[in-house]
Structure 1
Amino acid sequence: MSSSPLAKILLLHYSTDNLQSDGKQIIMSYTTVEAPHFRNDLFNGTSAEDIPSIKFLIYKTPLRSLRPFYIFISVLRHQFDIFITLHLITFHLFYHSSQHTYHLKTYIMAPGRLTEEDEMAVPEIAYDINLPYNHISDEYDQSSKRRTEFPSYLPSWEDDVWFDEVQPFEYHDPALRANKSKPNLFRGGVKAKNITPKMGTILTGVKMEELSDAGKDELALLITERKIVVLREQSDFLHAGPQFQQDFMSYFGPLSIQPVSGSVKGHPPFHVIHRDHNEEEIANFFERKLTSTLWHHDVSYEKQPPGYVMLGILACPDVGGDTVFADTVEAYKRLSPTFRAMIQDLKANHSSQKMIGYARAARGTVRTDPIDSLHPIVRVHPVSGEKSLYLNSEFLTDIVGLKDGEKEMLLKFLVDHVCMGHDFQARVGWEKHSVVMFDGRSTLHTATVDYDSRIQARHLFRLAAMTEKPMSVAEWEAHLHDEQILRNVRIFEFQRELGLRHADASGDEDEIR
């Protein structure tokens, strides 16, 4: 079998318009290729059938240049064509025969850290996942300290911190311990106002730093019931320091480590988002992207992803920068019974490979190895028994059992369904010294970058408590013989139906004593 001419074209020429290369092309060259039946004049190869690998070297781009590195590919047999495409730094390998084409593996290629002798710079990577959270400069850090009320919460990039993948753990949801009437959370003077009839509640008068364990249990139950709880006027809690906040969130479950972003120095569970005079970075992002909207669950690639998530707002614009949440329970209910039955048993792969590959390419901080996890597309909440959609524009890479076109179509349909479902969404407007806690199991969310960081900064942190492994409908039904689970679900449904201790749909504030 002769080698495919496509191999030569794709190896030697690849357009990089989306890498801001002014229409130039990356020139990819090779050192050696070891594989049988490739033309010598093209690859300087060999026909020896016992040589099991192909080796390519990509170097000297006319853009800013990738550091030389090697990719090794196992060859399954001696008669084949190799089709290669390079999308930014993603390498796709296909094995082609006369009858079938198999997608063997997708490699994330990234240069290592440069030495002082290296003359080539790392390219500016178009961060497909979202706006990048990379270290800008020491000078920027110093100027930021002069402008913030919370300098100790500015992002830190510690290179000597490494974490292994979290091992499976048994989880007991604090909401299952809660007093259903919530007397420890709704003490005298606490006021509640609903954001929408079905999701989102704003609380004023709660002192988070004074909550007892019983109060935290009741807060967990309220988060399950309302999916988003906004706690206003939390200056004392936010000034209590990162260790206090970390201990507070650890009550709800082991804390997730964000693998690539800046964190609070000495506190790697903190994911810090800091936008202050980042107008050039944001402008570059919108040169490539139509919108900053990216519906996602936080770190869904974990085997036991976060169920309780806290956002603490340290500084925010007077207007703009809101976070929008979607109720994935209601999104699931809106689907027809036929469609729900079709997707009920599907599982999807969630992966951090792409995010970590980009971080390494940009010489950013990386604290963990990439993680891949299979989760059901329809999961069941262990407290409420409600079914919800569990999908992710950011980390979902595959749907088991579906072909490429099928899974792309299904994911697009479900994400579009969530995006357009304004009647099951809630928009949270930020106020300084607010804390938002939300249920990561039954909501999707997205940031909105619609503010001018030259005028006012947006500075917040995220802490995410990991909970149970997402439970499929089949797994849930297998546990329905558990009387305690049935009792909890019945109580939850009763409370939900009555709407106890929540404001009515008119939005008037109710004082709860």
Structure 2
Amino acid sequence: MTNAAITTQAPVKEVLDLKKLAAADNYYLVTPTTTYPELEPFKHVDVGHRADPKKASLYDNAEKIFDLTPNVGTEIHGIQLSKLTNQQKDDLALLIAERGVVFFKKQDINIVQGEDLGRHYGPLHIHNIGGHPPNHPYVLPIYSVDVEKSAYYPKIVRASEGWHTDVSYELQPPGFTFLKIDTLPSTGGDTLWSSSYAAYDKLSPALQKFFEGLEVVHSGKEQAEGAVNAGIPQRRQNVLHTHPLVRTHPVTGLKALYIQPGFARSIVGLSKRESDTILNFLYEHLAGGYDFQVRFKWEEDTVAVWDNRVTSHCAIFDYLGSGKRHGWRITTQAERPYFDPNSKSRAEVLLAQARSKK
């Protein structure tokens, strides 16, 4: 059975109010022993190809749309994700691909509507070890209270070690992730996103050329082993794949640095010392790239939608022990990462546009 067959099964229409359950301290997550066939290759056609370059369906109907930083992050007011037209969904795909992450506040979307919206963009991903609401395996809750009770307590030394792109170890890793945060502590719990377009642009031309010929092993084995040791079932075994260090986005045609410490493990063809040296350099490059990051302070019932192909993100776990943080996410699969030697960098495109206006 292919992954596409799994994700097109008739959706369960029971609408659970996860926010209400979390507010009542009802720890509703289940981790059934269900296993699934390994994910098989499928042809992905990004709906962003159908978008209006001006994205008029969004800009003409929103109360306001504005960029949070020059390189990454856009906020939209006055549009409900639960009520998007097909044209708005397509235009949103292009906007996310261009800006990396888009934020929507005061959203009423529920998990069933979230699943339906996600299917517009590709097959829904079932997390390999994460718990989910009953009968909703495509929904991955974010449920953190304190160190002892947190479902995803990060056993990391520094927050910067938490940079990642969602499940990049899959054969065809995610395109979009939709994350709704509906419950927040009194302070803390921000999230950082980094532009992989700009991260590539900030490298010297010599390093850019060198990196374009490299491939990186991405692994989910460590994540799975930790879960199994904790008594949580592993749903699939095939969690190690190789992807290019620099990838091309299929809609924008732009180069993006595809690397992060969460799941990247080694560079193919290099010695361990060489690989570790380069990876550590890139991890510091990512964590220290304040000029191509956005730090978002959540408000309750806000949804962030990001493109995993051209961003990394890092949750700030500074609130554990001081309040509850709850939400849920839907993740869609996309194409297998590839590098097109004819693709351009974002900096090249912006420079050409500036010259054409003179």
Give the TM-score of the pair, scaled to structure 2. 0.86
Match of 2:319 among 403, 428, 451: 451
> For residue 137 of structure 2, what is the aligned residue in structure 1?
268
> For residue 460 of structure 1, what is the aligned residue in structure 2?
327
What displacement does 1:292 show? 3.3
What displacement does 1:207 show? 1.5
What displacement does 1:203 show? 0.8
Q: Aligned equivalents of 1:204 and 1:378: distance in 2?
A: 33
Q: Which moved more, 1:308-317 or 1:365-374?
A: 365-374
The answer for unaligned runs of 5 or more in structure 1 is 1-143, 481-485, 499-513
RMSD: 2.6
Q: Aligned equivalents of 2:171 and 2:24: distance in 1?
A: 36
Aligned pair 1:436/2:321, yes or no?
Answer: no
Aligned pair 1:305/2:173, yes or no?
Answer: yes
What displacement does 1:450 show? 0.9
Q: Aligned equivalents of 1:375 and 1:445: distance in 2?
A: 18
Q: What's the secondary structure of 2:192's corresponding residue? A: strand
Q: Aligned equivalents of 2:129 and 2:285: distance in 1?
A: 30
Give the TM-score of the pair, scaled to structure 1. 0.61
> For residue 15 of structure 2, what is the aligned residue in structure 1?
none
> Aligned runs of 1:20-99 on 2, under 5 Å?
none
The answer for unaligned runs of 5 or more in structure 2 is 1-18
Change (3 A) 1:320 1:411: same
Q: Aligned equivalents of 2:306 and 2:248: distance in 1?
A: 17
What displacement does 1:146 show? 6.2
Q: Aligned equivalents of 1:255 and 1:267: distance in 2?
A: 11
Change (3 A) 1:272 1:472: same
Aligned length: 331
> For residue 69 of structure 2, what is the aligned residue in structure 1?
196
> For residue 6 of structure 2, what is the aligned residue in structure 1?
none
Match of 1:381 among 243, 249, 258: 249
Aligned pair 1:171/2:171, yes or no?
Answer: no
- Whether contact under 8 Å (1:185, 1:211) holds in the other structure is no
> For residue 259 of structure 1, what is the aligned residue in structure 2?
128
- Whether contact under 8 Å (1:154, 1:274) holds in the other structure is no
Q: Aligned equivalents of 1:207 and 1:186: distance in 2?
A: 13
AA in 1 matched with 2:259: L
Q: Aligned equivalents of 2:20 and 2:94: distance in 1?
A: 38
- Whether contact under 8 Å (1:200, 1:230) holds in the other structure is yes
Change (3 A) 1:467 1:321: same
> For residue 148 of structure 1, what is the aligned residue in structure 2?
23
Q: Aligned equivalents of 1:371 and 1:189: distance in 2?
A: 40
What displacement does 1:193 show? 2.3
Q: Aligned equivalents of 1:329 and 1:222: distance in 2?
A: 14
AA in 1 matched with 2:220: S
Q: What's the secondary structure of 1:255's corresponding residue? A: coil
Q: Aligned equivalents of 2:167 and 2:287: distance in 1?
A: 20
Match of 2:98 among 197, 220, 225: 225
Q: What's the secondary structure of 1:246's corresponding residue? A: helix
Q: What's the secondary structure of 1:179's corresponding residue? A: coil
Change (3 A) 1:343 1:175: same
> Aligned runs of 1:53-452 on 2, under 5 Å?
148=23, 154-159=28-33, 161-234=34-107, 236-238=108-110, 242-276=111-145, 278-280=146-148, 289-293=156-160, 294-452=162-320
Q: Aligned equivalents of 1:150 and 1:251: distance in 2?
A: 33
* 1:235-269 C-alpha deviation (Å, 9 max, x unpaired): x213xxx2221111111111111111111221112
* 1:332-353 C-alpha deviation (Å, 9 max, x unpaired): 1111111111111101111211
What displacement does 1:150 show? 9.9
AA in 1 matched with 2:339: S
- Whether contact under 8 Å (1:356, 1:370) holds in the other structure is no
What displacement does 1:147 show? 5.1
What displacement does 1:451 show? 1.2
* 1:299-352 C-alpha deviation (Å, 9 max, x unpaired): 001111111111111211232111101111111111111111111110111121
Tell which has more relative contact order, 1 or 2 (C-alpha 8 A, sep 6+).
Answer: 2
What displacement does 1:201 show? 0.8
Q: Aligned equivalents of 2:266 and 2:276: distance in 1?
A: 9
- Whether contact under 8 Å (1:350, 1:375) holds in the other structure is yes
> For residue 19 of structure 1, what is the aligned residue in structure 2?
none
Q: Aligned equivalents of 1:342 and 1:396: distance in 2?
A: 18
* 1:352-374 C-alpha deviation (Å, 9 max, x unpaired): 11111111111113221142111
- Whether contact under 8 Å (2:177, 2:329) holds in the other structure is yes
Identity of aligned residues (%): 33
> For residue 11 of structure 2, what is the aligned residue in structure 1?
none
Runs of 4+ in 1 over 3 A off after TM superposition: 144-147, 279-282
Q: Aligned equivalents of 2:192 and 2:102: distance in 1?
A: 13
Q: Aligned equivalents of 2:232 and 2:267: distance in 1?
A: 30
Change (3 A) 1:435 1:150: farther
Larger radius of gyration: 1
Q: What's the secondary structure of 2:57's corresponding residue? A: coil
Change (3 A) 1:164 1:320: same
